[in-house]
Chains A and B, each alone.
Chain A
Amino acid sequence: MRRWLPLLLALLAPPALAAIDAEHRFDDPAQEARYRDLIAELRCPKCQNQNIADSNAPLAQDLRQKVYDMMQAGRSDQEIVDYLVARYGDFVRYRPPLRADTWLLWFGPFAAIGAAALGVALWLHSRAQRTRPALDEHARQRLAELLRQHDEDSR
């Protein structure tokens, strides 16, 4: 039985059509924008990689309804997200929480870029130090003078 199960599930997978939902309306455009932003950041637990705004799956429809109802009841974004995370886990939010176990995610790339930039800066600096003695101040002035003369000659 286990062997045909994945096949069956594949056949039942909801089509990836975008959800077009004309039912959940708000009188206040700001509220409506808030609703749109919120459902775009929540992941449909049932689907492949889709948020509940785009997904047509029945569960996504239920969760949209839930978010809508909670907003109508005056709940804040944080309360709504907490409500869903308590039931579906962190999987349900596309914006991972900032915690000790996600520091690497949130700060890792920039820390690496910063470290690399620092390394490059130190490297350039040490090279500049090394190359400087090749020309002392007097020689550099002389060179600049020659170059200027050359420029004028060539005009």
Chain B
Amino acid sequence: MSRGLKLTLLLALPLAGFLALLGLLWQGLGRDPSLLPSALIDRPLPAFRLAALGEPGRFISQDDLKGKPALLNVWATWCPTCRAEHEMLRSLAAQGVTIYGVNYKDDPTKAVQWLKDLGNPYTLNIDDQSGQLGIDLGVYGAPETFILDARGVIRYRHVGAVDEQVWREVLEPRLKLLQGGQG
């Protein structure tokens, strides 16, 4: 091989590397680097035993959330986005979707008042004042919405508000699939 050709081939390497880099950066555009997938996908719900919100004597455990596919929504009164999605959750509950709530690091009195004022879409509401369940679920910012299957296994997590679009494009198809598998 002549010296010139060798150098040409050698210098083609950086160009090839550069094109690969362009491809990578191109793919990276528009992605949200701060969005974190759950580490708990396809794992059973972490074990817990916590009081029901507003009913300090009654305890809820992971077994109470089994039986049918459902949404598990992490919310708090200090979280403005939770207020923004609340109406959507209510309409979902009205359509028959089972929604369990985790009241995350909140003041129970305020939380109970909030449900009175805005309506209660939750079948069950877990009072996680210490935030331990939040840590076990890998919650990093309320609101978060998990999809559980009938055996209480976490199948998906959505971070941020649930709105019409998120429900239609992201949550509903996945929930349907689980319900279909069950039926």
Contact = CB atoms under 8 A, between A and B. Distances in A.
Interface of A: 1-2, 5, 8-9, 12, 45-46, 48, 58-59, 62-63, 66, 85-89, 91
Contact of A63 (B36, B37, B81, B135): B135
Of listed B39, B163, B165, residue having the most chain A CB within 10 A: B39
Contact of B81 (A8, A62, A66, A89): A8
A45 B135 contact: no
A102 B17 CA distance: 19
A87 B136 contact: yes
Interface residues on B, range: 20 to 34
B81 A87 contact: no
Main secondary structure of the interface of B (DSSP, over half): loop
Contacts, number: 47
Interface stretch (B20-28, B60-68, B113-121, B137-145): B137-145
A87 B80 contact: no
Interface string B129-166: 00100111110110000000000000000001101010
B178 interface: no
Contacts of A48: 34
Given A1-B161, A5-B161, A87 B141 contact: no
Interface centre among B84, B134, B136, B141 (most CB of A within 10 A): B141
Given A2-B163, A63-B135, A89-B36, 8 more contacts: A8-B80, A87-B39, A87-B135, A87-B136, A88-B39, A89-B37, A89-B38, A89-B138
B50 interface: no
Nearest to A91: B36
A19 B123 CA distance: 39
Give the interface centre of B135, B161, B165 by most chain A CB atoms within 10 Å: B135
A66 B84 CA distance: 30
B140 A88 contact: yes
A4 to B, nearest CB: 9
